[in-house]
Amino acid sequence: MEHIIKVTKLTKVFDKTKVAVNEISFKVEKNIIFGLLGPNGSGKTTTQRMLTALLSPTSGQIMIEGTDYKHAGGKILQDIGYVPQKDALYNNLTVWENVDFFFSAYKYEGNRKDRIEEVLNKVDLLDNKNTLAKNLSGGMAKRLSIACAIVHKPKIIFFDEVTMGLDPVAREKIWRLTTELKEHATIVMTTHYMDEAEALCDQLLIMRDGKIIANGSPWEIIKHFDAKNLHDAMVNIKDENA
C-alpha cells in the first residue's frame, strides 16, 4: 500500500513550554478518509496546521508523497486543500468571488468558470453564487469554505470539523461529498461526531494531550476498547483520562 503522508516523531511546542503535539508518528494511505479524533485541546488542529505548512514543527519529519516537507517549498501547496476549523472567508466578496479568488492561486488546466460552477453545484451553492459571504448562514458558509478548498482538485484535503453546526441534511450532503472526493484525493479530517467518524473514516488516529493513544480502522478501535461503538470507545478514553 502506498503512503501519501508519512509523519515521524512530529512535535510542536508553543511558547517553549506548551507541548501541543508530542512525538507522533503515523502513515496515511492514498485515497482514504483518515480521521483524527480526540478530546478538545488534544492537538488535532495543531497537527493539521503542521501538515498544511502553516506551522513549522518544533521537531520531527513530514513526508508528502515521498518528499520531505522542509525541502518541498511551495510546490506541494498546489496539491493541498484545507478547510480550517473557523470559516475563513472574505465577507465582502460573493460566494462566486470567494471561490474564484482562492482558485486564482492555483494552476489549473481547463475552463475555470466551468470548474467553479461544478464545485458550487456540488456544495449546493450555485443558486447563491451572488450572495455576499457575510450574508450566508452558518451551514452555507461551511459549504463555501469547502468549495474554496477543493476547487483546484487537490490530492490531499484537510477538513477540520467541517460538519460542526450543520443540520442533519447538510451533514448528509457533506458525507456524500467527502465520499465522492475520496475517489481522487486523500482526506484527513477531524470531527467530534463519532457516528460520522464510524461511517466515513477508513482509518482513525486517536490523540490525547498531544500523543497518539490508538490507531487503526474504526472497527479495530471499537474492538481495542471493548466497546459497543466508537462513541462508547471515546467516552472510555475520557473516563480513563479523568
Q: Cα–Cα distance between 115 and 102 in angstroms, integer?
A: 13
Residue 190 CB, shortest distance to ligand ATP, in Å, is: 7
Residue 9 CB, shortest distance to another protein, in Å, is: 18
Residue 20 CB, shortest distance to ligand ATP, in Å, is: 3
Residue 13: Cβ-neighbour burial (10 angstroms; 0-12, 13-18, 19+):
middle
Residue 157 CB, shortest distance to ligand ATP, in Å, is: 17
**Strands (E) located in the chain:** 3-14, 18-29, 33-37, 59-64, 67-68, 80-83, 156-160, 186-190, 203-208, 211-216
Choose the contact partner of 230 out of Mg ion, another protein, ligand ATP, none; CB within 5 to 8 A by kind. Answer: none
Cβ nearer to Mg ion, comparing 159 with 225: 159
What is the contact surface with another protein in residues (CB under 8 A)? 14, 49, 52-56, 74-75, 77-78, 80-82, 84, 86-93, 97, 100-102, 104-107, 132, 148
CB contact burial 196-214 (16+ within 10 A = b; e otherwise): bbbebbbbbbbbbebebbb
Cβ nearer to another protein, comparing 112 with 224: 112
